[in-house]
Structure 1
Amino acid sequence: MLKRLLLISIVLLSGCSILTPLQKSRFITISNLIESAKYTEAKESIDALIEDEESAKWPRTWYMRGLLSQTAYHDGKSKNNNDWMNLYPDQIFFALESYEKALSLDKGGKIEKDIAPKYVLLANEYQALGDLHFKNRRYKDALKAFEAALKVISSPILAVELDLNLVQNAAIAAYEDRNWDRAIHHLRRLHNKNFGVNATHLLYEANLEKGDTLAAKQVIVEGMTRHNDHEDLVLLLTDLLFNEGDIDGALKNLDRVIARNPTNATFRYTKGLVYQRNEQYQEAINTYTQALSHSPDDPMIFLNLAICHYNTGVNIEEGTRTITNNSRVQEEKAKSKAAFDSATFWLDKIYNMGTTDRTVLSKAYELYKALRINDKADNLEDQLK
């Protein structure tokens, strides 16, 4: 009786995880067919095993289908044989599906050691496929391939760290495909790992594209903290707040970063732009003047100082139209002339410094024309031709 019980136990175990001689023989035959590049014959044998109710429960059956799919695809690609690459629909992805099925049936984990090295090769295959699709602007297909690679390397049977460069590839493919949910998913992973300012910037843009302004704002606030008040992120938040009509919020944010970065001219210049765009010209002039102490030869600061003084003069002149007292009119005209003279002072700095910035020169030309300083306007016009 003891022997009989032991025999029953062995039979039960073999049915679950140990291959019988017949099973081994069939798999050896399939393996030989694959090694001999007899892929069609191997497929017929594997398909027959899958159609059989009993052999469809064997992990090795699905492993063999994965091995066939992967090997035939790789071989077909290297030898330009489309038949080998298309034994199954989406064959390279079919390989992963087959391996996953094998792992799900393999309760004892005995097949993991066979699949692990195949996964490494499979991840490389997906990466190469994703690169090819991306190069050809097939972003949806690129995303599929990159995400498959990520799925493979994230498998518990591979003890490897997450490849953030691969996450970046998936993120950019999703972004280009305008698949905002997937782009946000991958970009968020990069953002949380402090992968770089560009990832935070794209995550901000993806949230805006999806219509989630609150999430976009939160991303930039987090990014400024993580990336030490990076200029790009500070400017993005300033622009967002300004466009929302939150002028005070934009100015307060700039005041905070200026306090932490007192020698940064860009932040002061940006604060001046906020005032200027809000038509607070004297506040803008004061702020631009502060920026000059840290960047004394910046033609853009000269230009915006000239614009602010010019607009101040225009506003003063327009205000005189409602004044009936002649002496008051003369006082206001004197103020407007002083503003125009100040505009000319800053324009002349641009004129004399010899900048080649066409944006600056073009705007300086317009201001000289508006101020009726035609000789310098004509000279700049010649430079712009």
Structure 2
Amino acid sequence: MKKTILLLAILVTAVAGSYAQKGKVSSAQTLKDSGKLDKALEAINEAIDPNNEKAEKSIPWPRTWEVRGEIYHDIYKSKDENYKKLATDPLATSLESFKKAIELDTKGTGSNGVKINLTLLINDFTDQAVKGFNENDYELALKSFEQILDIQSMPLMQEDPPTVDTVIIFNAGLAAYNAENYDKAIKYYKEAAKYNYNEARTYELIAASYTNQQDTVNALAALQEGFEKYPESSSLLVQMINIYMNANKTDDAMKYLELAIEQDPENASFYFAKGALNDKLGNTDDAVTSYEKALELKDDYFDAYYNLGAIYYNKGVKQLDVANAVPTNQPDKYEEEKTKADKEFEKAIPYMEKASEVNPEDTYSLESLKQLYYRLKMMDKFDEVNKKLEDLK
């Protein structure tokens, strides 16, 4: 009889020890609910301390980790700076804790509570991501969006039918892009593109990410893929044209430029680009035609005015070289060739004047006018432009 009593006493002691540590979890919960987060954290840390023999029962208990996650979540939300100092990254620790609870909860007995907590966590990760953007902390924003995606990928959080949060995926790409983490930007933008999110714009950003990595091959591949899906997108065409022009692939650039004009014949920038390309190829007459068409569509197009002025100015300079090459014993021939140069300079003046009118603070057009007025001995206008340049210094 005494042996039986002794055995029961040992059993009761063992059970009491188990419940004592689970009681620490309950105590941590109570302290958390009463707002005593420092004490709650002390209690839960004791319950998960591997060096504490009494924690053997509470460490593998899913509820322990769920409470720990709730405590860290409350630390994040606390307005008390003393409590905020209790953790460096409370949301991340909260997420780790809930994931541990899920791992240990093989029967799914606490899944509803954890699911609610994870849903609340998503809201705060979203707020943290927005804060990161507002403060230009794009690394924080990226990390927060990735943590949201991590939560959404958990089987516990899956819906039937499954849904894909393309907004978060795209924003993760945007955060990565701003953080100059172009590999991740490409990864998330490509994922968003699978679901047609933001349509052509997403392909533009994929291409921009590759371009920032000096990878024009993949940039063009992304643009071409996007253009196949969105053939009405002029912005994709523009990027392709720019890449081809920068790579001196003039035939390809002109092909897509003609296609762009065909799609949007009222877009002055396309005619300007065609003018610039023809100018680069030495097709001066075609360049002039394209620039003039751009001005028909946009009468305050500074660059078109300036480039037209530059074409005639440069023609004048070349013709002046011809005049200067005339032997000194042929003064009549020299005057004839010089007159041709002056006529080109005269053609340049209206365009440069208009350019300066559109952008009065542009020193390049003013300097060009200064040279033109001087060459043509228009000294009153020369003095006027010279004063403008002095005033801008």
TM-score, structure 1 normalization: 0.77
Residue 227 and residue 170 in structure 1: after superposition, are their counterparts in 2 closer, same or farther (change >3 A)? farther
> In the alignment, what sits opposite 1:186?
188
Alignment of 1:102-251 (within 5 A): 102-158=101-157, 159=159, 162-192=164-194, 193-195=196-198, 199-224=202-227, 226=230, 228-231=232-235, 233-251=236-254
Query: Which region of structure 1 is more displaced relative to structure 2, 169-178 or 98-107?
Result: 169-178
Distance in 1 between residues matched to 2:334 and 2:252, nearest whole Å: 38
Once the two structures are superposed, what CA deviation does each residue of 1:181-201 show, in whole Å capped at 9, x if it has no partner? 222223334455342766544
Distance in 2 between residues matched to 1:194 and 1:315, nearest whole Å: 53
What secondary structure, in the 3-state scheme, does the structure 1 residue paired with 2:156 have? coil
Unaligned runs of 5+ in 1: 1-19
> In the alignment, what sits opposite 1:34?
32
Aligned: 1:336 with 2:341: yes
Residue 107 and residue 320 in structure 1: after superposition, are their counterparts in 2 closer, same or farther (change >3 A)? farther
Cα offset, 1:266, TM superposition = 1.3
Residue 311 and residue 215 in structure 1: after superposition, are their counterparts in 2 closer, same or farther (change >3 A)? same
- 2:326–2:334 contact (8 Å) kept in structure 1: yes
Residue 309 and residue 164 in structure 1: after superposition, are their counterparts in 2 closer, same or farther (change >3 A)? same
Once the two structures are superposed, what CA deviation does each residue of 1:3-27 show, in whole Å capped at 9, x if it has no partner? xxxxxxxxxxxxxxxxx99998675
Aligned: 1:85 with 2:98: no
Cα offset, 1:96, TM superposition = 0.9
Cα offset, 1:257, TM superposition = 0.8
> In the alignment, what sits opposite 1:60?
63
Distance in 1 between residues matched to 2:49 and 2:354, nearest whole Å: 85
> In the alignment, what sits opposite 2:11?
none
Distance in 1 between residues matched to 2:304 and 2:214, nearest whole Å: 34
Once the two structures are superposed, what CA deviation does each residue of 1:332-381 show, in whole Å capped at 9, x if it has no partner? 55543442232124335556xx434433xx33322222222443343344
Across the two proteins, how many residue pairs are aligned to each other?
357
Percent identity over the alignment is 27
What secondary structure, in the 3-state scheme, does the structure 2 residue paired with 1:110 have? coil
Cα offset, 1:119, TM superposition = 1.3
Find 1:283's aligned residue among 264, 283, 286: 286
Structure 1 letter corresponding to 2:145 = F
What secondary structure, in the 3-state scheme, does the structure 2 residue paired with 1:285 have? helix
Distance in 2 between residues matched to 1:115 and 1:31, nearest whole Å: 15
> In the alignment, what sits opposite 1:261?
264
Cα offset, 1:28, TM superposition = 4.2
- 2:126–2:145 contact (8 Å) kept in structure 1: yes
Distance in 2 between residues matched to 1:247 and 1:91, nearest whole Å: 55
Cα offset, 1:320, TM superposition = 5.5
> In the alignment, what sits opposite 1:367?
368
Structure 2 letter corresponding to 1:124 = N
> In the alignment, what sits opposite 2:6?
none
- 1:167–1:186 contact (8 Å) kept in structure 2: yes
Distance in 2 between residues matched to 1:114 and 1:135, nearest whole Å: 32
Cα offset, 1:285, TM superposition = 0.9
Cα offset, 1:311, TM superposition = 1.2
Aligned: 1:316 with 2:319: yes
Structure 2 letter corresponding to 1:261 = D
Cα offset, 1:315, TM superposition = 2.4
TM-score, structure 2 normalization: 0.75
Find 1:378's aligned residue among 379, 383, 386: 383
Distance in 2 between residues matched to 1:227 and 1:70, nearest whole Å: 47
- 1:62–1:98 contact (8 Å) kept in structure 2: yes
Distance in 2 between residues matched to 1:166 and 1:290, nearest whole Å: 43
- 1:281–1:308 contact (8 Å) kept in structure 2: yes
Cα offset, 1:70, TM superposition = 1.9
- 1:62–1:101 contact (8 Å) kept in structure 2: yes
